[in-house]
Structure 1
Amino acid sequence: MGLYTTIHLHNVPAGCEADYAAWFEGAHREDLARLRGFRSADRYEVTPEQVMPDIAQPWRYMSVYDFELTHPEIDLPALGPLLAKARDGGLIDDATETERIYSYRLYSDWKSGPNHVPDKPFSSMFMILANFVAGMEEEYHRWYDEVHIPEVCRVPGFVAMRRGRLSAVQIEPRRFCPGSDVVMCGHQTDDLLFSIKDFSARARGVSPSGDQMEPRSKAGSFARTVHFFRKINGPDFWDGGMAYAGDLSVYPPDFRVTGA
């Protein structure tokens, strides 16, 4: 049995946003419930706050589908016809062929840090289409699991991470994927800009918290793109302020604007 996630990156025609949301929460969820191994599905919308603002954000929406499967070659493709219903119904804007559907075999389920509030939803998530340097895969995984995930999950509002490898089984339409791996980080924060500012400050060693991230491993390729999305579906939304196990009083009042 393995954990799999399928990420649907897409745009919706102007004026059809409410129709797409109604389809997703209605007929689509009914169809999903009949898929073997289906665990969950959530929708996200791209945020104005981005850690690397110069990177293009070609998708307004991201849907994340989670499965637990013994035979992915049989069961993963079953999601394809369900997404085709939205495409055929005019709910996906693919005029410039931006739609992407990527499926990943996860290395593990979510790995939480001290900030995480269990049984509460994420407020947002960042997703990285990532690569490792050839010949350095072992070092890449060691750095992420032993160094980077623990330090990222100590940033205010950053609570859990998981990673995966592009699956041999993919869903049509199959289009170029720039990363062999995916990195996902769940957030629980009511101030994403603050969290991003401190993420950057810790990477540069200037965070008011005094915490400093280790140098980035040379095993991680710079051929990557980073995308931040906020959760927009479901009855439950994060309402717990800033999830943080540390002391927020050390940050200046204008930190969310000025950073460090």
Structure 2
Amino acid sequence: MKLLQRREDEMPRFDFIVFTNCKEGTDDEFNDWYTHQHLQDVMRIPGVVSSQRFKRSEHQRDPGPFEWNYLAIYNCDTDDVQDIIGQIRARVNTDAMPISDTLAEKRFFCVFEPITDMQYPKE
């Protein structure tokens, strides 16, 4: 495997992966808040450059059960990923990043960094 080589002047890239669920019966309200408010709140943090949400498909390789119904991916260009993590922690449940009551308490947050360039099928 060829590891990703960065130019000296190129900013490192990280992806924040967040798995969540909503409280039972609150799907519509949860999705409205997450898509229209929370994504924008997170992207106001310097270095967070884009985001995308996903809902778990009913089509899976294995039968499950599956713990998480929703996934958000935040793309970050920064040389200080700890600063972004600290800013998220500082803003949670403030006017800068209110958290909806529809968000289930348990969630999973993890940071990844690429080790290869994007791969595409060979012709």
**Paired residue for 1:192, among 64, 69, 81?**
81
User: Does the aligned pair in 1 maintain the 2:42–2:97 contact within 8 Å?
Assistant: no
> For residues 117-196 of structure 1, what are the structure 2 equivalents within 5 Å?
123-172=13-62, 175-196=64-85
Unaligned runs of 5+ in 2: 5-9, 119-123
The residue type paired with residue 177 of structure 1 is F
1:1-260 equivalence runs, <5 A: 21=1, 123-172=13-62, 175-203=64-92, 205=94, 212-234=95-117
**Matches of 1:128 and 1:220 in 2, distance apart?**
12
Question: Quick one: higher RCO (CA 8 Å, sep 6+), 1 or 2?
Answer: 2
What is the TM-score when the length of structure 1 is the normalising length? Answer: 0.39
CA contact (8 A) 1:178 1:224 kept: no
Give identity over the alignment, percent. Answer: 23
Q: Residue type of the partner of 2:40?
A: P
Distance 1:203 1:217 in 2: 11
Runs of 4+ in structure 1 over 4 Å off: none
- CA change 1:130–1:122 in 2 (3 A) is farther
Counterpart amino acid of 2:107? R
**What secondary structure is seen at the aligned counterpart in 2 of 1:124?**
strand
With normalisation by structure 2, the TM-score equals: 0.78
User: For residue 208 of structure 1, what is the aligned residue in structure 2?
Assistant: none
CA contact (8 A) 2:55 2:69 kept: yes
Q: Aligned partners of 1:125, 1:200: CA distance in 2, in Å?
A: 17
* Distance in 2 of aligned mates of 1:183 and 1:224: 11
Q: Which has the larger radius of gyration?
A: 1
Between Structure 1 and Structure 2, how many residues are aligned? 113
- 5+ long unaligned stretches in structure 1: 1-20, 26-42, 44-119, 206-211, 236-260
d(CA) in 2 for partners of 1:183 and 1:200?
Answer: 17
- The SS at the match of 1:193 is helix
